Amino acid sequence: MSAFPVTPRTKLKRAPQRGIFERPQVYQILDEALICHMGFSIDEQPYVIPTIHARVGDRLYIHGSAASRMLRHLKQGVQACVTVTLLDGLVLARSAFHHSMNYRSVVMLGTMEEVTDLEEKSEALDAIVEQVMKGRTQEARGANAKELKATSVLVMQLEEASAKVRTGGPIDDEEDYSLPIWAGVIPTVLQPSAPIPDSRLAQDIPLPNYVQSYLQNRGIA
Amino acid sequence: MSAFPVTPRTKLKRAPQRGIFERPQVYQILDEALICHMGFSIDEQPYVIPTIHARVGDRLYIHGSAASRMLRHLKQGVQACVTVTLLDGLVLARSAFHHSMNYRSVVMLGTMEEVTDLEEKSEALDAIVEQVMKGRTQEARGANAKELKATSVLVMQLEEASAKVRTGGPIDDEEDYSLPIWAGVIPTVLQPSAPIPDSRLAQDIPLPNYVQSYLQNRGIA
């Protein structure tokens, strides 16, 4: 898998050691994120809108109502930027100046186009549901013709992208290490908790195995 | 406190019941978020960059290196969009089509300008550190003249903004409620875990009370 090229638009001028262009590492961050922030401009006004995404190979998909202003604008092929960010920790330094966050982010530049091939559209919608909960497409009632028609799927071919990652503890100025101030990292993670069954769920329907596994893998019994 | 006006740019055309324009509710979401996504365009290419923010009254601050490309561009007064998103849960519906997320997001439109008043700049930087960890400015070594000079602070006067909130369980089509498929919500929260002291921290420096309170309020002993 080739790395993303370092372009003038994705090159990190500051803290270049935090930049990552290898596709496997970029995709790992992208795939872990549950939402992305989609950036586009209308009449010179930028908009940044959160939405669900899924990646298949080198293609990034989003979806929404066919009536959505955002999707109708994006599918004209305008320039877009899609960003995902995972927060990994609060970095408390001895000096206010060196406070920071640990994070992993991916910035993707390109254009969106509408997916009109029905097979690709269906696979993209499956990938989006799987992004929310792996295993879910095996059980959920699939989209019917009316729902497929009401939904637009857009794709960005991933050609220009980079990740930026900060890890580790605070980096203080040398003379500050002797200050009697606690310093360190408070890790953070997007943590699920016990599921809340739908109020109309029949009592004899158990929590599916794939949801149980998802929770167990995240420390929920 | 007056509500934000509903403008053609912030009015929700779809799911308008999810829109919120009252400042206290918008600010509660904004203040809970640890990062924002800053949107702006250069040469018709949108960029979406994660950064730390803090709000004081009706003013939203960001900061960064005075050499930052983003800040140098934004302070020219170009149109910007700042968005924060809090993920509250995965919504598993009986149909693939009705899968969703519970979330609270705020979209703010406007222009950024550089804060040149030194008192306001200092207060903004304090607010940003407090946004990372409440109480921290009482202890951390404050910025010196060199650090203040190396840092730019930008502000957006909050005049056009809206929040969008989804809560509650899945909303399925009536005929799908009888399907033998588990449905419900898996709540999610950005959860801190036990602090990792800096490797160079002297052993006799205890975890500060404000960090202990922060963790206890989030279920960490």
Q: Give me the CATH number covering residue A125.
A: 2.30.110.10
Work out the minimum CA distance from A119 to partner chain B, whole angstroms: 16
Residues B71 and B145 in one domain: yes
How many of the other CB atoms lie within 10 Å of CB of B178?
11
Which residues in chain A touch residue B9, judged by CB atoms under 8 angstroms apart?
45
Does the residue A42 lie in any domain?
Answer: yes
- Give B128's contacts (C-beta < 8 A, 6+ positions apart): A99, B52, B53, B54, B61, B62, B63
Give the residue from chain B lying closest to A126, CA to CA: B96
| Distance separating alpha carbons of residues A75 and A115, to the nearest angstrom | 9
Residues A76 and A161 in one domain: yes
Mutation target vs B (from A30, A182, A203; most B CBs, 10 A cutoff): A182
The pLDDT, as a whole number, for residue A14 is: 77
CB A40 within 8 A of CB A73: yes
- Above 0.90 for ipTM, yes or no? yes
- Write the DSSP assignment of B154-207 as a string of letters: EEEE--EEEEEEE-SS----GGGTTSS---EEEEEEEEE---EE-TT--TT-PP
pTM exceeds 0.90: yes
Does the residue B2 lie in any domain?
Answer: no
Residues A119 and A44 in one domain: yes
Q: Which domain holds residue B154?
A: 16-174
Which residues in chain B touch residue A50, judged by CB atoms under 8 angstroms apart?
83, 85, 103, 105
**Confidence bin at A18 (pLDDT 50/70/90):** confident
| Distance separating alpha carbons of residues B72 and B151, to the nearest angstrom | 11
Residues A31 and A52 in one domain: yes
B81 DSSP β-pair partners: B39, B109
Does the residue B211 lie in any domain?
Answer: yes
Please check the confidence at residue A16 and state whether its pLDDT lies above 90: no
CB spacing of B39 vs A46 below 8 angstroms = yes
The pLDDT, as a whole number, for residue B2 is: 86
Q: How many CB pairs under 8 A join A and B?
A: 282
The pLDDT, as a whole number, for residue B4 is: 96
Residues A103 and A205 in one domain: no
Task: Quick: pLDDT tens for B137-152.
Answer: 999 999 999 999 999 9
- Write the DSSP assignment of B35-98 as a string of letters: -EEEEEEETTEEEEEEE-EEEETTEEEEEEETT-HHHHHHTTT-EEEEEEEEEEEEEE-SBGGG
Task: Quick: pLDDT tens for A165-195.
Answer: 999 999 999 999 999 999 999 999 999 999 9
Residues A157 and A213 in one domain: no
For A31, the 3-state DSSP assignment is helix
The pLDDT, as a whole number, for residue A2 is: 86
Residues A109 and A217 in one domain: no
Q: How many domains does one find in chain A?
A: 2
Mean pLDDT value across chain A: 96
DSSP A148: H
Does the residue A4 lie in any domain?
Answer: no
Does the residue A149 lie in any domain?
Answer: yes
**Confidence bin at A12 (pLDDT 50/70/90):** confident
Average pLDDT over residues B162-179: 97
Work out the minimum CA distance from A1 to partner chain B, whole angstroms: 25
Task: Quick: pLDDT tens for A126-135.
Answer: 999 999 999 9
- Give B212's contacts (C-beta < 8 A, 6+ positions apart): none
Residues B69 and B138 in one domain: yes
Which residues in chain B touch residue A96, judged by CB atoms under 8 angstroms apart?
125-126, 129, 136-137, 140-143
CB B69 within 8 A of CB B76: no
State phi, psi for A211 to the nearest 5 degrees: -75, -40
Average pLDDT over residues B100-122: 97
Q: Classify residue A187 as exposed, middle or buried by CB count within 10 Å of its CB (0-12, 13-18, 19+).
A: middle
Q: Residue with structure tokens 């008043």?
A: B117
Does the residue B65 lie in any domain?
Answer: yes
Residue in A147, A180, A208 closest to B182 by CB: A208
Mutation target vs B (from A141, A209, A212; most B CBs, 10 A cutoff): A141
| Distance separating alpha carbons of residues A66 and B197, to the nearest angstrom | 50
Average pLDDT over residues A102-114: 98
Does the residue A5 lie in any domain?
Answer: no
Give the residue from chain B lying closest to A38, CA to CA: B48
Residues A145 and A216 in one domain: no
CB A99 within 8 A of CB A93: yes
Does the residue B205 lie in any domain?
Answer: yes
Which residues in chain B touch residue A38, judged by CB atoms under 8 angstroms apart?
48
Residues A164 and A88 in one domain: yes
**Confidence bin at A205 (pLDDT 50/70/90):** very high
Which residues in chain B touch residue A207, judged by CB atoms under 8 angstroms apart?
182
Please check the confidence at residue B57 and state whether its pLDDT lies above 90: yes
Which residues in chain A touch residue B145, judged by CB atoms under 8 angstroms apart?
none
Please check the confidence at residue A1 and state whether its pLDDT lies above 90: no
Task: Quick: pLDDT tens for A55-85.
Answer: 999 999 999 999 999 999 999 999 999 999 9
Residues A123 and A221 in one domain: no
The pLDDT, as a whole number, for residue B17 is: 83
Residues A132 and A217 in one domain: no
Residue type, B156: M
CB A112 within 8 A of CB A156: yes
